[in-house]
Structure 1
């Protein structure tokens, strides 16, 4: 269920403050204790943070950084720079790295060509490192230039704590001397849990079809070849795998000596989609059991509450005065629905702030904002308060003509006397 995103609008004056009641306030539920260096869970539709622990520390992201490569591939296809059916040539570097069985890989040959789609599937399902570098070289010519693009894209997405040195998330020391030029010999991709969640948020928001691939439990790569290989997804929470959890359909695991065991997951339950990040869990399997704690918490304690309904009147007197209008007042209403994920039913307080009240005003035109003032919600974008929606005119009003102004002036004269 996709909910309307909240908009931010400037205001000029506060017109009113009123309270809506949603029922009693139960005791707030205890949050889960996640055994990892950092963890976070957000609402995938709005970016609202519903759980967080040590989210700003810069940690190794390992192969979770392939989400950035996935984002750039999808963007390049969308903008027409490449297509899914492009044939990708395999460089000597990619060939050599793809044969390293100590790394996650599918074998790639230089006397064969592979499509962007085939390599993308190997990356998203099996975290294939050689396939990932092949895509980077196809898009930017070499991996060093692609790493620069990853950093540039991170800045554009609003990420704050990150460093990308290669396309895969491998430690450069494991790349057989093929590490991108200009990067440190033992450098590794780094992100905070907050920025990892932000990256996943943008990936799912802009390219939700990524789950059609990332959610595949098993698939055979290069099926008609002697070098075919069955790719079993490293995300063991997917259907049919060891730690299956109902509703999980993505997103990306990561493991290196520095990163430990990490996992960015996503789940849809009861009409809500969540994104979770667990970094540096104790074991490969515990990253999933710790993630399950977050999903259990969401399922047991969290629900989506409608604070403001689109088209609803606001307060007892849902009207504003209009200057120079044929009518002195017009009805106003909420322009969007505002929902909040919470473990408790609150009695929200909100203010109406008017930014325009001079005629002419068209029906549906934004004339201010409705702001929930007592919300403690925080959002992945880093804004302290996004709990607001537009205030719109429920009816149109035309500007007064000269005769209307004359009548108004006469009325004001007698009123003054």
Structure 2
């Protein structure tokens, strides 16, 4: 064999070896949360687990894939009703009349419903409780019409709010989560085969905002059982579909999970059995979403597995306290102040979830508000506690998890002390000194 043939064979073998190595190392990098999905093996089409206080994503499986959310849709309706209450557009005692649409849907007991009367006015509270506890579809649509004027207008508001929350995959076509085939001629958007579409990631963001913006919503979502008495001949027992709530009887005790106080179940033939759950133990709150499980029981069993993982594999630790000086950060220069610089501190507390056995190691990156600076200095006077920027916290080492929002790990930066402004006489002499210094420098 001549030298050229030997060289050709050697080159071919080398190329094959390089290709093997390349393929071996082309496995996509998986985040910690994604890697956990293999170990947990959650039996759902998609799922996600969030540490509420830090916004960290502790677990995810197909979290950005879009599926029908069924009655988990109602979380957005709950949010917008709460928003209307807080803005004084509604009160809990505001009266709600019943349209033909609402009446017909509410009479169908194959759906989750309390039957509503056309000649009766209900309060917002009565309908909200029926929606949040019993997932009543007619009551939900009645509230949507009250807030939006029409359900179609309300759906537009749902989609606008979803966009504001960064729910990038969300597409609402009705307020209740029923499929259009069930709504028939009343469907506000879409054809007979259409349904709402959201991802587990979207629903986690929505749940985060419900809890963060209107925590009183949990006071209702955690009620296990309540009688509906408005406009009915005999009380209707509204059993909360969330069987993980403490307070249920013997038959549902097997699903009970201490600390659960919300948030919303969902089920249709198309969506399967779904659940957005939240649990709070000693201030450590988790949010989970499971979509497309195979049975009523399975959605709670898989949620239990996620909650157990969050509490057993992670510890919540405080790594920043309000008014605590930011370690290793230089004081910020002050112009025309009685002090030349001001120390900076955290403007709020911050907790993070740390995997067991791992140490907390954090980098601080301070970004000052440019609108407050002139030539790199703050203008005196500077008030103690005045917000002057923010700090981004980044965990070093193994505990690197994604965040629900990229602002979750940002904390306000404040002035740690008060710096008074120099009087005009001192400022004048400083100005003269600076002038001569610039000439002779």
Same fold at TM > 0.5: yes
Rounded Cα–Cα distance in structure 1 between residues aligned with 2:341 and 2:364? 21
**CA separation of 1:226/1:326 partners in 2, compared to 1, >3 Å: closer, same or farther?**
closer
The question of 1:371 aligning with 2:392 is answered: yes
Work out whether residues 392 and 411 of structure 2, in 8 Å CA contact, stay in contact via their aligned partners in 1: yes
Q: Could you state the TM-score of these two structures normalised by the residue count of structure 2?
A: 0.79
**CA separation of 1:67/1:371 partners in 2, compared to 1, >3 Å: closer, same or farther?**
closer
Rounded Cα–Cα distance in structure 2 between residues aligned with 1:237 and 1:110? 35
Q: CA deviation at 1:64?
A: 0.2
2:114 to 87, 106, 120: 106
Rounded Cα–Cα distance in structure 1 between residues aligned with 2:165 and 2:329? 41
The structure, 1 or 2, with the larger RCO (C-alpha pairs under 8 Å, 6+ apart) is 1
**CA separation of 1:300/1:326 partners in 2, compared to 1, >3 Å: closer, same or farther?**
same
Structure (1 or 2) with the larger CA radius of gyration: 2
Q: Deviations over 1:212-231 (max 9, x none)?
A: 11111001111684243101
**CA separation of 1:167/1:352 partners in 2, compared to 1, >3 Å: closer, same or farther?**
closer
Q: CA deviation at 1:57?
A: 0.8
Which residue is 1:278 aligned to? Answer: 290
* Deviation larger for 137-146 or 163-172: 137-146
Q: Helix, strand or coil for the counterpart of 2:160?
A: helix
Q: Helix, strand or coil for the counterpart of 1:169?
A: coil
Question: Which residues in structure 2 correspond to 1:14-413 (within 5 Å)?
Answer: 32-175=40-183, 177-222=184-229, 225-241=232-248, 242=252, 243-315=255-327, 318-323=330-335, 325-343=337-355, 344-353=358-367, 356=373, 357-364=377-384, 365-375=386-396, 376-381=400-405, 383=406, 386-396=409-419, 398-399=421-422, 401-407=427-433
Point out where structure 1 has 5 or more consecutive residues left out of the alignment.
1-27
Q: CA deviation at 1:314?
A: 3.1
Rounded Cα–Cα distance in structure 2 between residues aligned with 1:131 and 1:275? 26
Point out where structure 2 has 5 or more consecutive residues left out of the alignment.
1-34
Q: CA deviation at 1:110?
A: 2.0
Rounded Cα–Cα distance in structure 2 between residues aligned with 1:222 and 1:119? 11
Rounded Cα–Cα distance in structure 2 between residues aligned with 1:272 and 1:317? 29
Rounded Cα–Cα distance in structure 2 between residues aligned with 1:398 and 1:262? 60
**CA separation of 1:213/1:328 partners in 2, compared to 1, >3 Å: closer, same or farther?**
closer
Q: Deviations over 1:87-136 (max 9, x none)?
A: 32222322222222211111112233322211111111000111112222
Rounded Cα–Cα distance in structure 2 between residues aligned with 1:250 and 1:412? 66
Q: Helix, strand or coil for the counterpart of 1:36?
A: coil
Q: Helix, strand or coil for the counterpart of 1:253?
A: strand
Task: Report how many aligned residue pairs link the two structures.
Answer: 386
Which residue is 1:25 aligned to? Answer: none
Rounded Cα–Cα distance in structure 1 between residues aligned with 2:133 and 2:190? 27
Q: Deviations over 1:183-234 (max 9, x none)?
A: 2112111111111111111111121111111111001111684243101000
Q: CA deviation at 1:146?
A: 2.2
Work out whether residues 362 and 393 of structure 1, in 8 Å CA contact, stay in contact via their aligned partners in 2: no
Rounded Cα–Cα distance in structure 1 between residues aligned with 2:52 and 2:318? 16
Rounded Cα–Cα distance in structure 2 between residues aligned with 1:153 and 1:351? 31
Q: CA RMSD in A?
A: 2.7
Rounded Cα–Cα distance in structure 2 between residues aligned with 1:89 and 1:317? 60
Work out whether residues 201 and 275 of structure 1, in 8 Å CA contact, stay in contact via their aligned partners in 2: yes
Work out whether residues 394 and 409 of structure 2, in 8 Å CA contact, stay in contact via their aligned partners in 1: no
Q: Of Structure 1 and Structure 2, which has the larger fraction of its residues in helix?
A: 2
